[in-house]
Structure 1
Amino acid sequence: MDIQQYKQMLEQPWGKIQYEITFAQLAHLENKKILDFGSGFGLVSQFLAQNNEVVAIEPQEEMLFAYSNHRYEKILGSLEQVKIFESESFDIVLCHNVLEYIDENCRVNYLSELKRVLKRDGKLSIIKHNQVGKIMQAVVFSNDVDQALDLLNGNEFKSVSFSQGTTYTIDELLEMSKMKLENYQAIRTFYSLQMNEVKTKDNWLEKMTEMELAVCDLYPYKDISFLQHVWLVKE
């Protein structure tokens, strides 16, 4: 994993916009106790900590403590740290861009533990890679038909900054989690298909964020987006 390369990407307009969209989709959360599992550099945790009590768990020490000015509880580790918490401890649990990189046979265990620490009627926020959107980006943005065909055949994908991963569908997520689907939203419907040269132009970040948010709750856009933000409810 190239942490510095990933950090540099997040400082570019095409890295910032993903978080702008995510922040907008989480902005309604207030006065909640939130667990951010696999928090990375803590950008989402820091945003939510303005109006919520946040606990962040991250296995990469360099990422967890990258920013000393962040104000929320930080715990180094992975699933073993979740097990420390009592059942029904959190109103909201986040698991963003994590399950793709976990062995497929272990995903049920992770989801079961995250569900356990959720309160009744609590919500699990999952951001996942969408196979359709990844195939579109591979063909249009990357001009890599071989990669697109690999994705179409269900093969592993290679991440620029992370290890290899595999996608999963919303239906598979529902079966693994045994939770109720409340909603899902699009992230990166359009901007993953544009050349990076246009993304440094004046007002691109603002206008494209506006466009992405305009379609994030609409069909068919949320079925073709690169990422999908899935909201599950514990019944």
Structure 2
Amino acid sequence: MPDQSPRGETPPRPPRASLRTSVVWEVVKDALDRRVKATGTDTLDVLDTGGGSGSFAVPVAQLGHRVTVVDPSPNALFALERRAAEAGVADRVQGVQGDVHGLFDVVEREAFDVVLCHGVLEYVDDPGEGVRNAVDALRPAGAISLLAAGLGGAVIARAIAGHFAEARRALTDPAGRWGDGDPVPRRFTAEQLTELCGEAGVEVGAVHGVRVFADLVPGVLVDTEPGALDALLKLEAAAAELSAFHSVASQLHVLGEKRA
């Protein structure tokens, strides 16, 4: 039988049940379970900054937690409202227009048990300030989940595609960009992300490489080979915590705890 959520419900499958989110979802779910045990309450206050249409927020709410999503896009927040309603958790999900730099214009400091900051640091003007604000939104000993674009994965992807000059440019560019047409403003190494966390008062518990293999495997193989998707998911999970693979991951995930 599957594990039960704090409210006795069967937890949802990983958001979109995809290679892009499954590793992070399992880590986040475990972090939520640990905070439930540490706080002695079944219902946590969770902040999802940059949470968009709720690919994480809605499954978190389905576990019985209260989720506040802060996102600058009205369209994303409208989609969030619709998704939450369809999932039956509209009463546990609140969408607020804003961003991580102006976070405390829309939420209170030290008001949350867990903060998710996924796909945000690549796009903000000051990643350090972004992390500090996310941490300041946490109660003492609260958990933070950071997900950002990884430098190594982009370099490998450009090289495999035959764009060797772009791969070299990404490798040497301070922001990790492969050219003027690169849609990602900034990429990180694991060391850079953990340094940002340390400077913001976070005790880093784990670093994960996300999409280590998924972006390199032909989609037709995953779609047509029986059992390939499940096997690739298991491979991604096995490699995620191994530091040897952090430098080649498309994304990097850091899980930490606010120092008391």
Same fold (TM over 0.5): yes
Residue among 206, 209, 231 paired with 1:207: 231
Q: Which residue of 2 aligns with 1:3?
A: none
Q: Which residue of 2 aligns with 1:101?
A: 123
Code of the residue aligned with 1:69 in structure 2: it is: R
Structure of greater Rg: 2
Residues in 2 aligned to 1:114 and 1:101: alpha-carbon distance in whole angstroms: 15
Q: Which residue of 2 aligns with 1:39?
A: 51
Code of the residue aligned with 2:83 in structure 1: it is: N
Aligned residues: 218
Q: Which residue of 2 aligns with 1:181?
A: 204
What do residues 194-219 of structure 1 show as CA deviations (whole Å, max 9, x unaligned)?
A: 12222322433222111111221223
CA-CA distance at 1:144 after TM superposition: 2.0
Q: Which residue of 2 aligns with 1:58?
A: 71
CA-CA distance at 1:15 after TM superposition: 9.0
The 1:174/1:190 distance shift into structure 2, 3 A limit, reads closer
Residues in 2 aligned to 1:37 and 1:158: alpha-carbon distance in whole angstroms: 28
The 1:118/1:74 distance shift into structure 2, 3 A limit, reads same
Code of the residue aligned with 1:188 in structure 2: it is: R
Instruction: Kindly report which structure 2 residues correspond to 1:138-149, keeping only aligned pairs within 5 A, or say none.
Output: 138-140=158-160, 142-149=161-168
Residue among 102, 123, 130 paired with 1:110: 130
8 Å Cα contact 1:159/1:165 also seen in 2: no
Residues in 1 aligned to 2:168 and 2:146: alpha-carbon distance in whole angstroms: 26
Instruction: Kindly report which structure 2 residues correspond to 1:195-234, keeping only aligned pairs within 5 A, or say none.
Output: 195-201=218-224, 202-234=226-258
Q: Which residue of 2 aligns with 1:17?
A: 19
Code of the residue aligned with 1:87 in structure 2: it is: R
Q: Which residue of 1 aligns with 2:189?
A: 169
Code of the residue aligned with 1:77 in structure 2: it is: G
Return 5+ residue gaps in structure 1 as ranges.
1-13
Residue among 171, 192, 198 paired with 1:152: 171
Residues in 2 aligned to 1:174 and 1:189: alpha-carbon distance in whole angstroms: 19
8 Å Cα contact 1:158/1:164 also seen in 2: no
Residue among 173, 188, 194 paired with 2:217: 194
Return 5+ residue gaps in structure 2 as ranges.
1-15, 34-42
Q: Which residue of 1 aligns with 2:96?
A: 75
Q: Which residue of 2 aligns with 1:5?
A: none
Task: State which drifts further: 17-26 or 93-102.
Answer: 17-26
The 1:114/1:213 distance shift into structure 2, 3 A limit, reads same
Pairwise CA RMSD of aligned residues?
2.5
Structure-2-length-normalised TM-score:
0.75
CA-CA distance at 1:115 after TM superposition: 1.3
Structure-1-length-normalised TM-score:
0.82
What percentage of residue pairs aligned between the two structures are identical?
21
Residues in 1 aligned to 2:103 and 2:129: alpha-carbon distance in whole angstroms: 14
The question of 1:133 aligning with 2:153 is answered yes
CA-CA distance at 1:97 after TM superposition: 1.3
Code of the residue aligned with 1:221 in structure 2: it is: F
